Amino acid sequence: MRIDKSKKTSCPDRSRFKTLSAGVAVCRQKGGKWLFLLLCSDGFWDFPKGIVEQGEDPVHAAIRETEEETTINDLAFRWGYASRDTGPYNNRSKIARYYIAETGTETVRLPVNPEIGKPEHDAFAWADYETAMKLAAPRVRSVVEWAHKIITSRGTCRYGARPKAAAE
């Protein structure tokens, strides 16, 4: 999937926070059920996410971080590009913005991050809604609820504006 990098998505006033992270509530269907991909780091379960670099669009950061952390590179934003922000965390200096995307990939790899010499996460799980709600860190549970509501709603309603595709 290619997205026009000149297209900027709307962002809240970031001046209140030192850091914006962006991630994806990655989901896939198996046996008629939706499963969410959660990653564990230091005992906390979360979706793939990472810091939005200076001048980088949050959607692009979310896609990049998902691939860097899981090797998943077939994200389909079939529900559009709406996002959900968490409340502030990490001494109120950081917020995380999440998008929803489907993958056809079942195999997840947790590659070594060359900057730290080890994978960023200790484990991963494909979890149904109930399990995801139990595993997810408290600040992430509202994102799980939001994503579950959208992916299980009937119809083909799109949420959020689709970034313009780049010319090849």
Tokens read off for 111? 């590659």
Q: What is the pLDDT of residue 154?
A: 57
Give residue for tokens 């965390």.
Answer: 89
Q: What is the pLDDT of residue 5?
A: 42
Cβ neighbours of residue 142 closer than 8 Å, sequence gap 6 or more: 84, 86
CA-to-CA separations, 78 to 2, 117, 120, in angstroms, rounded: 14, 35, 28
d(CA 57, CA 141): 24
Q: What is the pLDDT of residue 16?
A: 58
Whether 59 and 134 have beta carbons less than 8 Å apart is answered as no
Q: Alpha-carbon torsion 125, 131, 137, 139, what sign?
A: positive
pLDDT, tens digit, for every residue of 8-40? Answer: 444 445 455 679 999 999 999 999 999 999 999
Whether 136 and 46 have beta carbons less than 8 Å apart is answered as yes
CB atoms within 10 A of CB 103: 18
What residue type is 63 in one-letter code? I
Strand ranges in 61-139 using DSSP code E only, listed in sequence order: 84-85, 94-102, 112-113, 118-119, 123-127
Whether 140 and 46 have beta carbons less than 8 Å apart is answered as yes
pLDDT, tens digit, for every residue of 76-129? Answer: 999 999 999 998 888 888 999 999 999 999 999 999 999 999 999 999 999 999
Domain boundaries, the chain: 18-110+117-152
Task: Kindly indicate whether the domain formed by 18-110+117-152 is annotated with CATH number 3.40.50.1820.
Answer: no
**Secondary structure letter of residue 83 according to DSSP:** -
